[in-house]
Amino acid sequence: MLKLRPNCECCDKDLPPDSAEARICTYECTFCADCVDGVLKGACPNCGGNLVARPIRPAAMLAKNPASTKRVLKAEGCAPKAA
């Protein structure tokens, strides 16, 4: 089950569970659309994979399976992973 992390790892923007701005990779690294389109150029800086829109968990299911409250932020900054 997706953790639905609460923030962008790059700029720390809040990304609530129903955010259409959230993007994730296959490892569930989480970024906002602005960072993905801008500095990251569509690639996860952690694994190099692509970033796609995070699904939105329906409210009834969110009550049963809440989103994570643990914030993750890249201390070294947010640049695309070198090839």
Q: Which residues pair with 53 in a beta bridge?
A: 23
Residue ranges and CATH numbers for the domains of the chain are 1-63 (3.30.40)
Neighbour tally for 16: CB within 10 Å: 13
List pLDDT tens digits, range 30-48. Answer: 999 999 999 999 999 999 9
Q: Among 20, 23, 18, 11, which Cα is nearest to 71's?
A: 11
What 8-state DSSP symbol labels residue 65? S
* Overall pTM > 0.75: yes
Sign of the CA dihedral 34, 4, 6, 56? positive
Backbone angles phi, psi at 70, to 5 degrees: -80, 120
Which stretches of the chain drop beneath a pLDDT of 50?
none
